[in-house]
Structure 1
Amino acid sequence: MTDNGIDDEIVESLNKVLGIVVNARKAVSTIDKLNLPVELDNSPLSMLDSIGEMIHQYTTKLSIAARPPITKDALEKYSNDMSNMVSPLIATLQIYTVDKYGKIIYDRLKMHVERILLGIECLLRSVSPKPLAHVTEAWKTRGRLVTTGMLWESCEKLQKLGREGALGYVLEEWENFVSMLEDAVSDMEDWKAGESSNWDNFDSEDEDEEEEKENTTSEVRTQEQAESAKQLLRQLNACKILFLSIKKHRLPKTASFHYLDDLYEKMKRTSEAIDEVVGQFQEDFDNTKDELDLFAFCGKELAQTCITEFESDSFTAWYTKWLENWDQSWK
């Protein structure tokens, strides 16, 4: 058989696998919950770790098999092995539903599944000796930006979700929230001291330190501005104390999925409110009321979650006192 004939056979085989992958990707957004027997209803998240590991292994083997000299049998074997993992991957969206495992798990899972399927499609097209079929609009708009590296990264994130669950994700995001809060404190201290940046001059992401200094001007703050900044700094630092306490006392390993969903959303809203209020101080100090009100509300809402979810906890009194001080700071 000629090389061209072998290529045609490879393309035919890869197209069959690609059809499975593309149809699975189309089904992601419309997939229905799977009603499992009671004894199977509590599937361990560790299954995600196993699925992610196997897909990583098969896609790696397929990538290696596609290197010269290309062996038709090897390409077909590993592409078929990989296609056998598509059904278990899709089934995870039917098993780990929002009502049972929470929004954090489901949203992260759905994102990883979509990216893995798009990554597999990218890999199949890259190893084929000729262009493959099943070119969808999603491939035209997103697929060309995907790399096999992103595929393996998504597999690793799926594995991490299986090992660490929602708590692992919340802890990771907590680090980001605290880092952002510390940046907000630093920005407010600079603003209070009279520093402001001339953003019109920032036309490049590669500004060096000297250029950054040139684009920073100094202003004399009014007494009202200085007092308001001082007050906001106290509230930002109080919020940081709350965040630090949450990690220590309100993120137990036994936390339910739905509690973590709620706590994460409250932390996220508070973080966003902080970003908005500091930004508004810097841009338009005379019109900060809405941002301050939102920050006050979000901080209170977050503290209340720490109280209501742990009514008999020994630290409830601490959060109650924090909330009293928080309310008082806005009067």
Structure 2
Amino acid sequence: MATMANKSKSTTNDNRNIRALIDLTKSTRTLLTHFQSSLTPHRASHSPLPDPASAPSSSTTIPNPLQVVKATTTLLKSHTTTLSLLLLTSPLTPSALSKKIGDVSSSVLTALVAAASTPKPTFHNDELGDLMRAELKAQARRVLGGWSEVLALIIRFAERREGEGKEKGQDEGVSESERQDVLAATGVVWEACDALLKVCNDGVVELVVKKAEQWRGALMDAVNELKEWGEDVEDDEEEDGLVESDKEDEDGGFRDDDDIFGAANKLRKGDEELKVLLDTSVKKLKLVGMLYQALVKRRLKTFPNGPTPTSNGAASGTGNVSDPMAILDRLMALLKSIPESVDDLASAFYDLDGDEANKLLETCCGGAKKAAEAVKQSWDGKEDEFTAWSDKWLGALEGS
């Protein structure tokens, strides 16, 4: 009788532990949703998570956010590995899973999100910059999304175990498909953690170089497409054919959409003014692409690791002490905007709108000039090879 009573008591406790695990995991997924929302763009950059009473004051030394993100991401990856092993080992141990989830949500995740959403400092120079902050938030959201899927698996396993306990009083173990699900979900988290760790290890310089090269690639792709479009000139016969394009073909069907609309945005032989503008645009945008290469080599790769103010108004023309990170933020915003304007420029050409194309070309070139001027002097406020090169580049751009 005592044995049966002990067995019944054990089963009751086990059921309670499973229910507690399910409730905890569901509440943790809700917390993750809140964390992810706090990391979305166009929201307040500060994290609401830490207790305001424990938040560092402006006079307190703030830990390096990249180091905090790196440490917490490494811990999260380790905890995820432990969770996956617990899920794959029969019988399911709800108390161990609950403890691990509680440890992660109460410390690791809170610290990770707080570090990834570190606000721009007010009383001292910035060490991260706008681009790194945005990247940390994006990569952290990806990590949290992967971890949420791991928690979803835990809920599924626990609910199955809860049902089996009521019906059979035993754990049937993990099926092969469930095993693959666990490994796949764990792999997603590992991959996301590794990507975030790479951002931390590479630092600001590697990130801005990578982004600038990506934007230059997008810029040159658009230029090449424009060049090819300009070479595909519509002749008079094609123009006459448009009048008849809505007639039925010999088989009684209508012509292909490409036959009907394909020539509508082709450059025509008579559009000499638009053709000249297109050729000018291609030449100028190629020079803008050259600027990206020079900026990567002479400015982005030489950006100082620490927040070292520059004198003589380096790149700002103010004659005051400048913050290199503030200048870098402005430069990267300009480099990002130019390919976006080039996309609009291409659309204007495809619409055969010369006036709009001319305005957008001026916008693109204006942004490039501002980018060159922003960092005309080196980060320590001195003239160098890029200073002289940028003057020659500007002359070539204006003369093209």
Q: Normalised by the size of structure 2, how large is the TM-score?
A: 0.64
| Identity among equivalent pairs (%) | 20
Are 2:114 and 1:98 aligned?
A: no
Are 2:376 and 1:313 aligned?
A: no
Q: Within 1, Cα distance between the matches of 2:62 and 2:292? A: 34
Alignment of 1:132-143 (within 5 A): none
Kindly state the Cα deviation for residue 189 of structure 1 after the two structures are TM-superposed.
Answer: 1.5
Q: Within 2, Cα distance between the matches of 1:7 and 1:175? A: 56
Q: Quick check: 1:116–1:155 contact (8 Å CA) kept in 2?
A: yes
Q: CA-atom RMSD, angstroms?
A: 3.4
Q: Within 1, Cα distance between the matches of 2:274 and 2:347? A: 14
Alignment of 1:21-36 (within 5 A): 22-23=30-31, 25-26=33-34, 28=38, 31=47, 34-36=55-57
Kindly state the Cα deviation for residue 14 of structure 1 after the two structures are TM-superposed.
Answer: 4.8
Segment drifting more, 36-45 vs 320-329: 36-45
Relative to structure 1, the CA distance from residue 195 to residue 75 in structure 2 (aligned partners, 3 Å threshold; closer, same or farther) is farther
Q: Quick check: 2:86–2:97 contact (8 Å CA) kept in 1?
A: yes
Kindly state the Cα deviation for residue 195 of structure 1 after the two structures are TM-superposed.
Answer: 6.1
**Match for 1:250 among 289, 299, 305?**
299
Q: Which amino acid aligns with 1:294?
A: T
**Match for 2:67 among 35, 42, 46?**
46
Alignment of 1:64-213 (within 5 A): 64-67=85-88, 69-72=90-93, 73-83=95-105, 84-93=107-116, 96-99=118-121, 100=126, 101-128=128-155, 129-130=158-159, 151-194=189-232
Q: Within 2, Cα distance between the matches of 1:312 and 1:107? A: 30
**Residue number in structure 2 paired with 1:263:** 331
Give deviations 1:223-275, integer Å, cap 9, x for gaps.
Answer: 22322221111111101110110111011141643333222111001121122
Relative to structure 1, the CA distance from residue 71 to residue 257 in structure 2 (aligned partners, 3 Å threshold; closer, same or farther) is farther
Q: Within 1, Cα distance between the matches of 2:57 and 2:340? A: 39
Q: Quick check: 2:129–2:326 contact (8 Å CA) kept in 1?
A: yes
Larger Rg: 2
Relative to structure 1, the CA distance from residue 90 to residue 18 in structure 2 (aligned partners, 3 Å threshold; closer, same or farther) is farther
Relative to structure 1, the CA distance from residue 4 to residue 228 in structure 2 (aligned partners, 3 Å threshold; closer, same or farther) is farther
**Match for 2:279 among 230, 234, 254?**
230
Relative to structure 1, the CA distance from residue 299 to residue 74 in structure 2 (aligned partners, 3 Å threshold; closer, same or farther) is same
Relative to structure 1, the CA distance from residue 12 to residue 22 in structure 2 (aligned partners, 3 Å threshold; closer, same or farther) is same
Alignment: residue pair count: 299
Relative to structure 1, the CA distance from residue 70 to residue 225 in structure 2 (aligned partners, 3 Å threshold; closer, same or farther) is farther
Kindly state the Cα deviation for residue 10 of structure 1 after the two structures are TM-superposed.
Answer: 2.8
Relative to structure 1, the CA distance from residue 8 to residue 126 in structure 2 (aligned partners, 3 Å threshold; closer, same or farther) is farther
Give deviations 1:64-114, integer Å, cap 9, x for gaps.
Answer: 3223634315423432443341232133146x3223332222222233334
Relative to structure 1, the CA distance from residue 4 to residue 235 in structure 2 (aligned partners, 3 Å threshold; closer, same or farther) is farther
Q: Quick check: 2:116–2:136 contact (8 Å CA) kept in 1?
A: yes
Q: Within 1, Cα distance between the matches of 2:31 and 2:98? A: 19
Q: Quick check: 2:216–2:292 contact (8 Å CA) kept in 1?
A: yes
**Residue number in structure 1 paired with 2:239:** none
Q: Within 1, Cα distance between the matches of 2:262 and 2:337? A: 30
Q: Within 1, Cα distance between the matches of 2:229 and 2:17? A: 67
**Match for 2:358 among 289, 312, 317?**
289
Q: Quick check: 1:102–1:261 contact (8 Å CA) kept in 2?
A: yes
